[in-house]
Structure 1
Amino acid sequence: MADIGTIEARWVELSAAVDRLTERIGDPDDFPVHAGSSLAGDDRASHPFEVSQALRHIINVSVDQLHGVKTAVREGRYLHLGVSSTLARAALENAVTGLWILGPRTRNTRIERVLRWNSRNYHDSANYLRDSAMFDNDRAQKHDQNLAQIAQLATARGIDPDVATNGFPTTKPIKQGAQYTDLPVYTDWQIASGFAHGRPWAHHGFLERRRVSDSASEHRVYTLSAREDVTIYLPMQAMHLLSELVRLRDRRAGVEMPPRPDGEPDYERANPT
């Protein structure tokens, strides 16, 4: 386990990053897309399903989820067993989905993925409305029109309309998006998902355990308590991933970017097409 000083330093770092990003997403003039940039070209080609709009939404919700961690743990001063990991899971999933959309070097792949992201949204909404007995004729017609618009744009770009309109399974962006970062996204997400779904393997593997019963029963009794290093680890990983997404998004949007400490750009040497 990391020492208390190291853990405190990580919370200071996370809190400062969350506060800065909270300021950015609250500014309607932030996250510009400059004319002539790669992202501006993506937006023209994907209209009305602009890549930059999808990324702005993804960044917004990821920041909100990490702000929840900061509020509950850093400011609330309470270590729940799985709250930080559960919120970090959502932030990891969203941030890597953003990298999955923006990471590819070819424009058509980026457009295909933003279309799939939008169609997944339409399908999820329609499923909720059906299950709530609110999917009337008007809503069904609007749903069909939305998917038809996606199919039309995909066909015009030479993208398979069936792929574009069928969304994606949850784990696809997590597994495929991992190629755009050195972070162990999928295994981090697996741990966080274990906490989110209350899986015993996650609780017994990543929490402090103390055996409290030596009875003759075949079932041993333990008390579980949060580990401070685990409580900060997954939110920090999510913040690092989100920071990579924001940096990539800003560079693709033509925002002046400082060089990385090692002098190398993030996963590319030339502007994508």
Structure 2
Amino acid sequence: MTESDPQHNTRESDEQAVAGFRALQLGFIRLDAIEERAHSLHVQQGSSLAGDRDASSYNPIPDQVQGLLATATDHLRAVQVAVEDSGGKILAMSMFTLLRSAYEAAGTGMWLLQPRSRDDRILLSMQLTWDNRRQVRSVGTALGRHPDSDVGFNRMDARLAEIRETRDGLRGSTVTRVVKVTDRLISIAPLAPDLVFPPLVLWQMASGIAHGNSSMMQNLLELQQVSPYTNGSASFALTTSVGHLVVFYEAALQLVGRLIDQYESRNVSPVLNGRRARQAPAWLIPSTVQACSSTPPLPRTVSVA
């Protein structure tokens, strides 16, 4: 930033902060409803999910998705704990670490359920299972253990191969190359067309802040000049506005809600009590804020009645 820039302070007003806190509190209430839905999920006999589970009993798809839901909601709950237990403080960078994890977990769950083919869903599930367990083996190797001594990994690898051999469409397939997180988020974008930003962009912005990317922070966080210009440059404090946090938080809530919708749409039994079951209607989270401008406002502790 130079002296020629028109604005050296993008801090949000107290009125904007109060409105942001109220919107954030509504988001926490919606999280309660999301968690209640997630906790009530079970596999309906005769549903597509039941077929996925029965076709691959090792770390089956419904279990993986419920684990990813728990991961996403846990990180979103941590945002609430951080805000409320601190008396309303908005931490500049760490909030985006939590949101990044929520985007990634919800997006991965949507990616698992996205393919129309059961074989494709099972293969993605196996690739994710294999790579997750590989990471555990890598930790052991880094600590000095020989990879071949990891009998748990070898047992998992053999079991996945055995299951693949039982399905004509999976014989000869490999599980050793998992799809990257970025590609997963690109693939699910059509499933969440009304997000304020595409899933990948949300994840990239949150990742940039979480990883200390100064360029990303200067473009997304609030700036407040703290020293005069000297030789064309000055120092600025970077903070996160309440309104800006709400935009990113609500996007995460929407992704988690869409994941639950996907789960429920694949969890419908063809026949229920002698009548054809109806798919549950899509669950929509009402938006309480507009998309933030390219230069967002700034946070502080504000008491809200």
Return the TM-score normalized by structure 2.
Answer: 0.76
Question: What is the aligned partner in structure 1 of residue 241 from structure 2?
Answer: 227
Change (3 A) 1:123 1:196: same
CA RMSD, Structure 1 to Structure 2 (Å):
2.5
Contact preservation (8 Å) 1:11, 1:74: no
* Residue 166 of structure 1: how far off its partner (Å): 2.9
* Residue 170 of structure 1: how far off its partner (Å): 2.9
Change (3 A) 1:210 1:78: same
Question: What is the aligned partner in structure 2 of residue 259 from structure 1?
Answer: 281
Alignment counterpart, residue 101 of structure 2, candidates 63, 66, 90 = 90
Q: Who wins on radius of gyration, i.e. which is larger?
A: 2
AA at the equivalent of 1:71: V
* Residue 136 of structure 1: how far off its partner (Å): 6.4
Alignment counterpart, residue 184 of structure 2, candidates 173, 176, 184 = 173
Alignment counterpart, residue 20 of structure 1, candidates 14, 33, 54 = 33
In the aligned structure 1, how far is the partner of 2:146 from the partner of 2:179?
A: 22
Change (3 A) 1:117 1:161: farther
In the aligned structure 2, how far is the partner of 1:64 from the partner of 1:43?
A: 25
Contact preservation (8 Å) 1:73, 1:84: no
Matched, 1:130 2:141: yes
Question: What is the aligned partner in structure 2 of residue 156 from structure 1?
Answer: 166
AA at the equivalent of 2:137: A
Question: What is the aligned partner in structure 2 of residue 111 from structure 1?
Answer: 122
1:132-177 per-position Cα deviation (integer Å, ceiling 9, x unaligned): 22456542x3312212222232343222655323333332222223
1:165-218 per-position Cα deviation (integer Å, ceiling 9, x unaligned): 333333222222323221310111111001110101221111111223334346
1:51-103 per-position Cα deviation (integer Å, ceiling 9, x unaligned): 10101110111111100011112443111111221100000001000000001
In the aligned structure 1, how far is the partner of 2:282 from the partner of 2:105?
A: 24
Structure 1 unaligned spans of 5+: 263-273
- How many pairs were matched up? 258
* Residue 228 of structure 1: how far off its partner (Å): 1.5
Greater displacement, 117-126 / 128-137: 128-137
Question: What is the aligned partner in structure 1 of residue 76 from structure 2?
Answer: 66
AA at the equivalent of 1:7: G
Alignment counterpart, residue 142 of structure 1, candidates 141, 149, 152 = 152
In the aligned structure 2, how far is the partner of 1:49 from the partner of 1:84?
A: 31
1:3-42 per-position Cα deviation (integer Å, ceiling 9, x unaligned): 44652343133211222344556x5xx3111111110011
AA at the equivalent of 1:19: D
Residue aligned with 1:146, SS: helix
Residue aligned with 1:110, SS: helix
1:232-251 paired onto structure 2 within 5 Å: 232-251=246-265
Contact preservation (8 Å) 2:108, 2:181: no
Contact preservation (8 Å) 2:17, 2:241: no
In the aligned structure 2, how far is the partner of 1:243 from the partner of 1:37?
A: 20
AA at the equivalent of 1:109: D
In the aligned structure 1, how far is the partner of 2:199 from the partner of 2:165?
A: 32
Question: What is the aligned partner in structure 2 of residue 269 from structure 1?
Answer: none
In the aligned structure 2, how far is the partner of 1:105 from the partner of 1:162?
A: 18
In the aligned structure 2, how far is the partner of 1:187 from the partner of 1:219?
A: 30
Alignment counterpart, residue 189 of structure 1, candidates 194, 203, 217 = 203
1:96-143 per-position Cα deviation (integer Å, ceiling 9, x unaligned): 00000001211111111111110111111111111122456542x331
Change (3 A) 1:213 1:160: farther
The structure with higher relative contact order (CA 8 Å, sep 6+) is 2
Residue aligned with 2:170, SS: coil
In the aligned structure 1, how far is the partner of 2:32 from the partner of 2:120?
A: 33
AA at the equivalent of 2:23: R
Give the number of the structure whose residues are more often helix, by fraction: 1
Contact preservation (8 Å) 1:209, 1:225: yes
Percent identity of equivalent pairs: 24
